[in-house]
Each structure stands twice: as C-alpha cells, then as structure tokens.
C-alpha cells in the first residue's frame, strides 16, 4: 500500500513556490463545527475536501497561459489553513498521448486538442499537478469516469506524473501493479487511509483492472475498508458516484454509504453529480461518521448556478477515547465559479456575500442545513499578493 508521511506538527511538507509563513491561512472557528464525537485530548487535524477538478477548454486555456492559480487562487488561504487537502482530479495527466492512447509528440502546456483536450475525453498537462500542490492540495483521487480517457497507458502515465511531482493519490493503479488502493498518511493522531473509487469509466474497457469500482467492486472496496480499520487507521472513502445534476443521492449511494460506515469508515466524501448533495450522519464502529454525498464541482466551466456552486468539506480529526483517529466535527465552506468579467475564477462566498455569491451560499444551505461555516472563519497572516487577471477570457 502507498504511504505518505506527515511530520508530528500535522502539516504536510509541501514544496511550494512561496513560503507558508508568508501566506494568509484561513480556517473555520472550532466552535462553529458540528460536534460529532467525543475526543481524548485537544489535538486536532483538519482535512478539507473539495470536488471535481474538471478542466474544460476555457479553464485549460487560461491555466496554461496564466497559471491555474488565476482560477483557484481564492482557495489558497483555506488550503493553507488545513492540514490535509483532498480533491478529485477528473482526467488523466498523460504527456504525449492522444485519444485512444495513441502516442504522439507532446506539444507542451497548450490546449492543442490532440494531446491536451477538454470534454468529452479529458487530458491535462501535468503542470496542473504542480499548481494544485502550490495551492496546498495534498492528495487527489484519480478514480472517476474520466480515468481511462487515455486508456490503460494514460492511467499509468498519470500515476507516474503524480509520483514524480510529489502528489499523493488514490483510486487507480499502474498496469500490472499490486492492488494496493489505500493511501495511508501517518500523523501524530494516528494513520489516515484514503480510498478512492468510481461508479464506472464511461464504458471504456479496463483490461488491467486499474480503477477501483464502487459498486461492481463493492466486495473488494468493503474488504479494503475493513482491513485498514483493523490496522487502526481512520478510513476516509472518496467515492465518485451518483446521478449527474441531481441534488438527491440515489438508493445505491445511500446503501453503499451505510455499508462503508458499518465497515469502519469515519467519513465518506463523494463527487461526480457536479452539484451539491446532502450530508448524512451514520453510527459506525468508531462513533458517528459523516457522509457528504456530493461536494459539487471544485472548478469547471459548467455555468448554471447549481453546477457553479460547490462546497469544501471541513472535517476535524481527533483521537477517540479508545485510541485511533475519529471524526470530531465537520461543516462546509461554500464556493462558486464566477464567469463574469475576466472569469472563469473561483470565489468563496462569505458572510457579506451578495448577488450570485449569496444565491450560491443559500442554495448550499438549503441542501445541507446547519453546516455552513462561512460566517465563522478565522484568518491569520498577510494576504497573498493578488493574482494578476489576464483580462477577459477569449480562449476556446
């Protein structure tokens, strides 16, 4: 199994272009979180989980030309405030691979529509990994319906690029590799095990079984959760599941969520519907577990308010009375993609939100009542320098 080590201070040793001490760091006030379980001691570790990094053509054009921080820079203070940040990397990062897995000369970081492409079969230049790391993302799940958009070779190439650039990952394996789908992160509070899975691969064949499947691979998934729980890990499952554009989880989601919690998961945080879905709390072996059925998108070019609205799940981990990691409390921060002016750009609607920001925050609050943390955020340190806007987006 893959292992990532954290220092005792509970922060990742991120290789960033800027020093953390020079960054503004924002985090919800501890008392604002919904308390889920009693804890032993005061030590906490925070995990922030955002949704789909779905780089449609307009986002790739802007990101390659001006840096992806010009799109998701607003997330940086929150990412820097968390100890671990998780996202769904929805598409391969496979240099020199065209559709169908055909090998061609790599064009570099440009949207050439041969190697690097948007919908319906995505492929991103690996520099996006560097920009995610620089913003503060610690781990990505690569198990999603676009995982095989460059075939088996694309999955293997993506894993190689993630490893080469120091990004932890879960949900897929290289062709011929052992079936080690759990990524374990050792912290001062114990081990966290992250497990990604997907409902499907858009019908693209997976001859080497490189993508862990949520439903058809249910027995393997549950056995993996049980095994990691038995080792004393706090298991967080990242399923790519559900019905696109529906605010309600399916019966299949609900049933699998219950089974994952019964198997020992302390949190289940889903993606794929491209809209926000409710939270649920279930009793498991380690106390109450959080199920966030869908975070919605993190960044995308889907412009309608429901699809432009997402959340960042904020979970605080502690040591339970019986030892081992458990969930202390949770909530969410609303976010919205803005396509006006120089967009596309990510925004975090706060307590003073107006217009579309207020609408996005209200939409999330209707779907997930009682967990909004937007009015209870503490920030420390200087604000990062503003990212220069490149002007109106005239890309493809």
- DSSP letters along 26-64, please? EEE-GGGSEE-S--SSS--EEEEEEEEE---HHHHHHHH
CB atoms within 10 A of CB 10: 16
pLDDT score of 181 = 98
- Strands 84-89 and 309-319, how do they pair? unpaired
| pLDDT value of position 14 | 31
Query: What pLDDT was estimated at residue 4?
Result: 63
Say what the pLDDT of residue 383 is: 46
pLDDT of amino acid 3: 61
End-to-end Cα, the chain, rounded Å: 41
pLDDT at residue 214 in the model = 99
Please tell me the predicted confidence (pLDDT) of residue 391.
Answer: 36
Pairing of strands 25-28, 309-319: unpaired
| Residues 82, 46 contacting (CB under 8 angstroms) | yes
For each of the chain's 396 residues, which pLDDT tens digit applies?
566 644 333 333 333 333 344 578 999 999 999 999 999 999 999 999 999 999 999 999 999 999 999 999 999 999 999 999 999 999 999 999 999 999 999 999 999 999 999 999 999 999 999 999 999 999 999 999 999 999 999 999 999 999 999 999 999 999 999 999 999 999 999 999 999 999 999 999 999 999 999 999 999 999 999 999 999 999 999 999 999 999 999 999 999 999 999 999 999 999 999 999 999 999 999 899 999 999 999 999 999 999 999 999 999 999 998 889 999 999 999 999 999 987 799 999 998 999 999 999 999 999 999 999 999 999 986 544 434 333 333 233
Q: For the domain 2-6+26-373, what is the CATH superfamily, name and number? A: Metallo-dependent phosphatases (3.60.21.10)
Q: What is the pLDDT of residue 322?
A: 84
């Amino acid at each position: 199994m893959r292992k990532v080590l954290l220092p005792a201070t509970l922060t990742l040793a991120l290789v960033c272009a800027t020093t953390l001490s020079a960054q503004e760091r924002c985090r919800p006030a501890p008392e604002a979180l919904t308390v889920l379980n009693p804890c032993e001691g005061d030590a906490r570790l925070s995990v922030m989980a955002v949704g789909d990094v779905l780089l449609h053509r307009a986002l790739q054009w802007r990101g390659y030309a001006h840096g992806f921080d010009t799109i998701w820079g607003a997330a940086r203070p929150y990412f820097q405030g968390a100890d671990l940040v998780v996202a769904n990397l929805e598409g391969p990062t496979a240099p020199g691979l065209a559709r169908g897995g055909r090998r061609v000369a790599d064009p570099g970081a440009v949207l050439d529509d041969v190697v690097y492409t948007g919908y319906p079969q995505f492929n991103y230049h690996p520099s996006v990994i560097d920009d995610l790391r620089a913003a503060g993302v610690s781990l990505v799940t690569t198990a999603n319906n676009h995982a095989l958009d460059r075939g088996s070779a694309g999955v293997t190439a993506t894993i190689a690029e993630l490893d080469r650039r120091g990004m932890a990952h879960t949900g897929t394996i290289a062709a011929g590799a052992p079936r080690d789908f759990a990524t374990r992160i050792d912290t001062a509070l114990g081990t966290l095990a992250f497990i990604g899975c997907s409902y499907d691969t858009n019908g693209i064949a997976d001859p080497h079984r490189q993508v862990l499947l949520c439903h058809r691979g249910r027995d393997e998934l549950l056995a993996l959760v049980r095994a990691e729980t038995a080792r004393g890990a706090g298991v967080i499952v990242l399923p790519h599941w559900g019905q696109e554009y529906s605010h309600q989880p399916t019966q299949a989601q609900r049933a699998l969520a219950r089974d994952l919690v019964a198997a020992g998961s302390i949190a289940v945080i889903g993606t794929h519907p491209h809209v926000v879905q409710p939270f649920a709390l279930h009793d498991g072996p380690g106390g109450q577990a959080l199920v966030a059925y869908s975070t919605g998108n993190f960044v995308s070019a889907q412009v309608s308010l429901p699809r432009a609205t997402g959340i960042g799940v904020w979970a605080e981990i502690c040591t339970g009375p019986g030892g081992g990691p458990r969930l202390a409390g949770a909530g969410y921060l609303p976010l919205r993609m803005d396509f006006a002016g120089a967009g596309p750009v990510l925004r975090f609607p706060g307590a003073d939100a107006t217009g579309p920001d207020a609408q996005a925050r209200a939409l999330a609050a209707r779907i997930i009542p009682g967990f909004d943390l937007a009015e209870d955020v503490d920030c420390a340190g200087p604000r990062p320098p503003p990212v220069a806007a490149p002007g109106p987006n005239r890309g493809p």
